[in-house]
Amino acid sequence: MAGLVDPFLSPALGDALAQWLAQLQALEGAAVNTIEAYRRDVTRYLKFLSAHRGGAEGVAAVARTTHPDLRAWMSEERSRGLSPRSLARALSAVKSFTAWAADRTGTDATTVLSARGPKHRRTLPRPLSEEGAAEVLTDIGSDAREDWIAARDTAIATLLYGLGLRISEALSLTGADHPLPETLRITGKGGKTRPVPVIPAAAEAVADYARQCPYDLTPGEPLFRGARGGPVNPRLIQAGMERARLRLGLPATATPHALRHSFATHLLSAGGDLRAIQDLLGHASLSTTQAYTAVDAARLMEVYEKAHPRA
């Protein structure tokens, strides 16, 4: 982890940043992409402070950052085109690092920890209709060069919509997962494992692909194979969705991830419990699940009335 630290930081800050990132990865199970984003955001922040104050910064000094310093940093980030959402993420990373540094130096970091990020409108996902999702599952493999590739793409799309998997989770399955059991153990973001029930349609789609696949689906190798036998590039599935979307006249938001959104929304619309759906999706926060389930106000009121009947 230390090798990833920017060489332009002072040795003390470089060591502190490396230790903090290592702790996030080892003790909190942060995903690799999260570690990289935090490293990038905090490095930019620390380099800004050094330039802004005219000299190398120590760990304790960083924890004592003032409001004017923070405002200047946020202004700098916005001026280079950072969106409010990205800046809010960067500030979250800065706060986490500052709290860690303050704890180790006995410094009061209240100023940084109480700072508020920019307001941003949360963009809600746009799930497909039930008819649209069904059409995608039927169409996504229609232009494949070989029948087994068509079956592969159909199986992957069925896992996204039928089980609510992320595309990375579907592509991480190995030959050991075939035939699909009644319940899959899926390792998601942050290394967290969750049980996901397998619906018959998904098991059948994967079995159909496995029967046609020309490669041996050995336990230690990817379940889903590319044309030359290697792992499937996610971009291939995204491209397949793009072509299906154009053929079916679906909106540009009809992406592989939209199938996962659709799984959550349609399940809740059918009467599913929001917390149960949260567990199936592997969300740490219920608010994230609520954003996934784009259900109209009338449906939400119906759910509320059933949970809280009037006397």
Longest CA span, the chain: 68
Q: How is residue 179 annotated by DSSP? A: S
Contact 107, 58 (CB under 8 A): no
Q: Give strand pairing partners of 183.
A: 197
DSSP code for 175? G
| Active-site option among 89, 166, 261, 266 | 166
Q: Is 292 a catalytic residue?
A: yes
Catalytic residue among 78, 189, 194, 299: 189
**Which of 39, 152, 260, 261 is flagged as catalytic?**
260
Which residue of the set 52, 104, 257, 299 is catalytic?
257
Beta bridge partners of 197: 183
- E strand or H helix at 235, and its extent? helix 234-248
Residue 261 falls in the annotated catalytic set: no
Give, in order, the Cα–Cα distances in Å from 117 to each of 52, 84, 142. Answer: 20, 8, 46
d(CA 198, CA 264): 15
Round to whole Å and give the CA distance between 259 and 301: 25
Annotated catalytic, 283?
yes
Active site amino acids: 166, 189, 257, 260, 283, 292
